Amino acid sequence: MDGNLLSIEGCPPLQRNFNDLGPHHPTKKSKRGVLFFEVEILDAKTREKLCFLDKVEPNATITEIKNLFTKSHPQWYPARQSLRLDPKGKSLKDEDILQNLPVGTTATFYFRDLGAQISWVTVFLTEYAGPLLIYLMFYFRVPFIYGSRYDFTSSKYSVVHLACICHSFHYVKRLLETLFVHRFSHGTMPLRNIFKHMDMNK
């Protein structure tokens, strides 16, 4: 009997018996046989459906999903988005991969708006450039600070020039480190926190 199955159907008996169980509906796949995911994004507060993404690659990252979401909602650029699996859960990391998350082939994410964002590089450039420029305005005696008789005059005391050199070197060094040395774990921070951050770093 097994031999007849092999000669007629061209497949092993176990596979033939499995096929006899009846028709089944395969999950949506691409031409290459890669499984696609469907992603729906809901508002974390209202549960309103904001976006539905069809045919998302299984190796797509959260960053890529955020970019797709931005196409339908340009006001929410990726840095403003917090995507999570539970409305009150933690935000997913940008590097998280869709197929590694505890979701089915139709994944549901909950969206929260983080508000206007500013890059950490900009935060530190502002923090260091401010003291540098303010000091130099007094050093060079700009007209709107000193009287007209002192406009852009130079101090006769060498300690004043030495102090300016040391002060400028310190903040120029900080600016260069921010641009070329430091790496930040988070790309942005809420714009509303910038003054709070500067106050903490006094």
Phi and psi, residue 44, nearest 5°:
-65, -25
177-200: pLDDT as tens digits: 999 998 876 778 887 777 666 655
Residues 51, 55, 58, 63: what is their CA dihedral angle, to the nearest 10 degrees?
-40
- Predicted pLDDT of residue 14: 39
Q: Which residue has the higher pLDDT, 100 or 143?
A: 100
55-103: pLDDT as tens digits: 999 999 999 999 999 999 999 999 999 999 999 999 999 999 999 999 9
32-54: pLDDT as tens digits: 666 899 999 999 999 999 999 99
CATH number for the domain whose boundaries are 37-115 = 3.10.20.90
**Can you tell me the distance from the alpha carbon of 138 to that of 152, in angstroms, rounded to the nearest whole number?**
9
**Can you tell me the distance from the alpha carbon of 87 to that of 28, in angstroms, rounded to the nearest whole number?**
28
Q: Whole-number mean pLDDT of the chain?
A: 83
Residue 135 has pLDDT above 50, yes or no: yes
DSSP 8-class letter at 85? S
Q: Could you give the residue range(s) of every CATH 3.10.20.90 domain in the chain?
A: 37-115
Residue type, 163: A
- Predicted pLDDT of residue 153: 85
Cα 147 off chain centre by: 49
